[in-house]
Structure 1
Amino acid sequence: MTTTEKDTDAAEVRTPEIRPRNVMGKLPRYAAGKPAAIIEGLQSYKLSSNENPFPPLPAVLEAISNSQDINRYPDPLSTALRTELAAFLDVPAEDIVTGAGSLGALSQLLSTFAGQNEHGVPDEVIYPWRSFEAYPISVGLSGADSVQVPLRADGTHDLEAMAAAITDRTRVILLCTPNNPTGPALTSVQVEDFLAQVPADVLVVIDEAYEDFVRDPEAVNGIEMYREHSNVVVLRTFSKGAGLAGLRVGYSVSHPPVTQYLRAAAVPFAVSQLAETAAVASLQHHGELVERIQGLVEERTRVVAGLKALGWRIPEAQGNFVWLDLGENTPEFAALAEQQALAVRAFGTEGVRVTIGEQEANTRFLALCATYTKGPGVS
């Protein structure tokens, strides 16, 4: 057979098209925060991913540097971390399920409790929008339908509309407090009133990824809600306040009727030894961590005050970020920030989220805002 004949035969062989599940064509793509551009003469700062700008505590770094057993699989139950958390939160260790960040814990929960019924009809998951951009991805991958309820004009959850959206297909409701990317936190009264309208067989997930930064005395405490309501699940993470984003360790807290299934669905060995060791050390040195977090809260206060002094109108900021409702001016502002070696997180033509970072970064951000005449509320 000649080379030409071989080429012809090969061309006639058809490779079957490899197709993913139909839902893949409907899912949005997660857009991670980009690093800052390199601008000559300027220190670059990444304010696009809501990361803690400071490394973990020295005691945490020392603890993980001494780890020698990474050739072994980690404890699949993260027993040491769950034991430490149980004492820290004053909850039973059996009520805690760890995961690869709070997002990993959420994915475990959705894959367990939201999907399709025996007739192939999708369940429904209600959540505010705009909110954490991974929500529609995680919900879609679970096989459920997203029910997105628009935020109020001030960036807060419209709990009345969320309650009205509940149907007999609703299985899970997500509450993001403080809401990412807008910033406001829910209050205890608001959540209690909302829970009174939710059927007892619908899970209400209180996502508190940024709870370390909350200073509103009326803000909801998810753990207190979990104590009072059997259908409440709390999500928390060590990524933000503790500065362990790169190690991926978070957890959920819920009652045994929920955790018994979460454990069965949990990804084995999702939390590494290094992550567990770092999280335990962070809890054991929580006092030092609080001091560091307070420094970021004070920087947030300075940034918010600076924006208001410039006439900018922004939602209440209870996370480690601020939200700029720039609308169609969003791309322009993000481009100007890039020219200043600042990476911010632009959301289409909706707005810009800016992480509270190092002092110099925050000062440069405020200087940019002082020269920008199209800010929300600026006349």
Structure 2
Amino acid sequence: MTVPVRLRPEIAALPPYRQGKQADPDAFKLSSNENPFEPLPAVLEALHGALQVNRYPDASAAALRQILADRYGVGLDEVHIGAGSISVLSQLLLAVAQTGDEVLYSWRSFEAYPGLVTVTGATSVQVPNRADGGHDLVAMAAALTDRTRLVIVCSPNNPTGQIVTTAEFETFMASVPESVLVVLDEAYAEFVTDEAAVDGESLTERHPNLVVLRTFSKAYGLAGLRVGYAIGPAYILDAARSTAIALSVTGLGQEAAIASLAHEGELLERVARIVRLRDDVRQALLDQGWEVPPAQGNFLWLPTGEHTAHAAGVFDKHGIVVRAFAPEGIRVSIGEAASVDKLLAAAQEVVHAL
């Protein structure tokens, strides 16, 4: 009789991460918060010039780190590059949390958080979002214990789109012991237009227990190349580097990120177009009767509650692939301008049914 390999029970029970549903050729995929624009010609040119795939990449990503260090006014070792910001978060969790520890975050937030915590052996402490979908930082501060090792703050929050303000964040940080690591996940920072929003770029020197995460996947349109980064204290990032899988950031990804930073103005013009479309679509949804919270990412949140599965089916029928989080709501990305009419037609049908 074959004896099955013994798996950790918490891992055996853990569902794997599932990305947004792929779209049929005649549908619009608005389920993964991807940038609808093709890479800039200069980025494609850099990729063609870096097609030496028989060689290993620079494991330290030194050239990209130096550019980012100069940009943020920090030392080279205060920058860490990973295969997407989720990879860096995983490394930070592995560096600080283990069985018996707690990791605190708002919920609902990025769906990968619970799985990443489970892999470390630590326990997730999920603090419910406020009624408007934002972080309840007062409740999060009250949930801190002597077992808390890491806190994740996501601004704008994925999938609800709400920001954390600078005032809220500073008050929260004053309540967190300096021995507890706070990770500010700012994957959608470039889409933020609310001046009250927290900006991790300006806070790392003030808080010795703060690490800020950002990514090239969203605003810079490099989701398929997997490049993210962290800014924070060198000793913490050294610990993250120790847990990282070596050589996981490709040379192509590094070159594309460098080229993107060199042509950032053009890319941010595209971001501004997405933001304008986001605000226009939100207003149209409000006019239809939806209650859509203020959106600061490249997506919108539709609180469909117990009707989420049905609503997702209606969108799918109209050729719009959305991300459904039953029984709470639907996240829909801002994609091609051509998707708007189909999106609004589906939304009109759903809101009438509700």
TM-score by length of 1: 0.91
Matches within 5 A, 1:318-333: 318-333=296-311
- 2:183 maps to 205
- 2:217 maps to 239
- Correspondence for 2:285 among 302, 307, 310: 307
- Match of 1:205, SS state, is strand
Question: How far off is 1:138 after superposition?
Answer: 0.4
- 2:11 maps to 24
- Correspondence for 2:104 among 96, 121, 126: 126
- 2:329 maps to 351
CA contact (8 A) 1:101 1:248 kept: yes
CA contact (8 A) 1:107 1:138 kept: yes
- 1:168 maps to 146
- 1:297 maps to 275
Distance 1:207 1:338 in 2: 30
Question: How far off is 1:374 after superposition?
Answer: 4.8
State the AA in 2 paired with 1:20: L
Structure 1: which 5+ residue stretches go unaligned? 1-13, 117-121
- 1:60 maps to 43
- 1:97 maps to 80
State the AA in 2 paired with 1:332: H
- 1:88 maps to 71
CA contact (8 A) 1:27 1:136 kept: no
State the AA in 1 paired with 2:12: G
For each residue in 1:80-115, what CA deviation from the matched residue of structure 2 results, as whole angstroms up to 9, or x when unmatched?
A: 110111122222221011111000000110011111
Runs of 4+ aligned structure 1 residues displaced above 6 Å come to none
Question: How far off is 1:36 after superposition?
Answer: 2.3
Matches within 5 A, 1:214-293: 214-293=192-271
Distance 2:17 2:298 in 1: 20
Distance 2:308 2:64 in 1: 41
State the AA in 2 paired with 1:278: A
TM-score by length of 2: 0.97
Distance 2:9 2:97 in 1: 17
Distance 1:249 1:300 in 2: 25
Distance 2:90 2:247 in 1: 15
For each residue in 1:297-328, what CA deviation from the matched residue of structure 2 results, as whole angstroms up to 9, or x when unmatched?
A: 01101101111111211111000000000011
For each residue in 1:207-234, what CA deviation from the matched residue of structure 2 results, as whole angstroms up to 9, or x when unmatched?
A: 0011110110110001212121000010
- Match of 2:178, SS state, is coil
CA contact (8 A) 2:288 2:351 kept: no
- Match of 1:271, SS state, is coil
Distance 1:352 1:257 in 2: 39
Question: How far off is 1:27 after superposition?
Answer: 2.2
Distance 2:184 2:10 in 1: 26
- Match of 1:299, SS state, is helix
Q: CA, structure 1 residues 349+37, in 2 after alignment: closer, same or farther (shift >3 Å)?
A: farther
Distance 1:57 1:19 in 2: 48
Distance 2:55 2:42 in 1: 23
CA contact (8 A) 1:136 1:146 kept: yes
CA contact (8 A) 1:28 1:136 kept: no
- Are 1:72 and 2:55 counterparts? yes
- Match of 2:175, SS state, is coil
- Match of 1:373, SS state, is helix
CA contact (8 A) 1:37 1:339 kept: no
Structure 2: which 5+ residue stretches go unaligned? none
Q: CA, structure 1 residues 359+15, in 2 after alignment: closer, same or farther (shift >3 Å)?
A: same
Moved more, 128-137 or 65-74: 65-74
- Match of 1:228, SS state, is coil
CA RMSD in angstroms, aligned pairs only = 1.3
- Match of 1:307, SS state, is helix
State the AA in 2 paired with 1:345: R
Moved more, 275-284 or 28-37: 28-37
